[in-house]
Structure 1
């Protein structure tokens, strides 16, 4: 039983010590902070732009599936409201988040990795050319030595 506990604890320790867990934790924390930034942009910029055409609060956009869509004196909603404004706000937040992540993180990283791949290919091609040049040079030296040895043998 103690061996099983030890192996489970060792496995957990190994799991925690891998870089993936730390990277994931950092990503979650950054994502949470980034969500606040995006929500602020939606509330501070997008909502006022939408407000130029209607109300500034996207969450107030709704339709009524069954009348009356009003709260009674006890605060209980009467009717069946469809709150499509909150969905619109969430979709806008998602699109802004996706655009920022793509243009500020994914696209630059893709360009960087492509540049690294081109450099690696160029370095490999240069190494192959150098190797081919060295082989040719060694063949020429060999041929010159053979020719020289052959001429030495014919001289009395």
Structure 2
């Protein structure tokens, strides 16, 4: 029973996830500080308010602190931008560079324009007889 738990903990996915959570928490602290100590004072200086966290609307005896929401929104946008521009976009470029183009197994029927398998000699939609496609790659290999 204990050996199964040990195997579970030593799986690569669990360790990678633990590292991701720790790095994410540290990154969150950096972004929160950047928003609270750099961006909001700059934006607040432009808007005339010393701090966003003090912005609120009084409704009866309650206070709606929309300044805290603005801080959270700015933090979210920064995290989303960092994730997109530094993780997603480079990953997509890298996978596009190293991925091989997918070879299509379909072709268009010349009679009804529906998609049929390349090897088909009769269309399954309109039943037209179709000449077989010559595999150019196989033809070149035979030469």
Question: TM-score interval w.r.t. the shorter chain?
Answer: 0.5 to 0.7
The answer as to whether partners of 1:65 and 1:81 remain within 8 angstroms in 2 is: yes
- TM-score, normalised to structure 1's length? 0.62
What residue ranges of structure 1 are gaps of 5+ in the alignment? Answer: 1-5, 67-78, 123-127, 138-156
Matched, 1:103 2:85: yes
- TM-score, normalised to structure 2's length? 0.67
Matched, 1:39 2:32: yes
Instruction: Please state how far the C-alpha of 1:84 moved relative to its aligned partner.
Output: 1.1
Matched, 1:54 2:48: yes
Q: How many residues align?
A: 109
Q: Which runs of 4+ in 1 moved over 3 A?
A: 131-134
Instruction: Please state how far the C-alpha of 1:44 moved relative to its aligned partner.
Output: 3.1
**Which digits, 9 at most, give the CA deviation of each residue in 1:41-84, with x for residues without a partner?**
21233212222212231110001011xxxxxxxxxxxx211111
**Which digits, 9 at most, give the CA deviation of each residue in 1:3-61, with x for residues without a partner?**
xxx2xx23222211211111111111111111122112212332122222122311100
Q: 1:116 aligns with which of 73, 98, 123?
A: 98
**C-alpha root-mean-square deviation of aligned residues, in Å?**
2.1
Larger radius of gyration: 1
Using CA pairs under 8 Å that are at least 6 residues apart, name the structure with larger relative contact order, 1 or 2. Answer: 1
Matched, 1:20 2:25: no
Greater per-residue helix proportion: 1
Match of 1:55, SS state, is coil
What residue ranges of structure 2 are gaps of 5+ in the alignment? Answer: 103-135
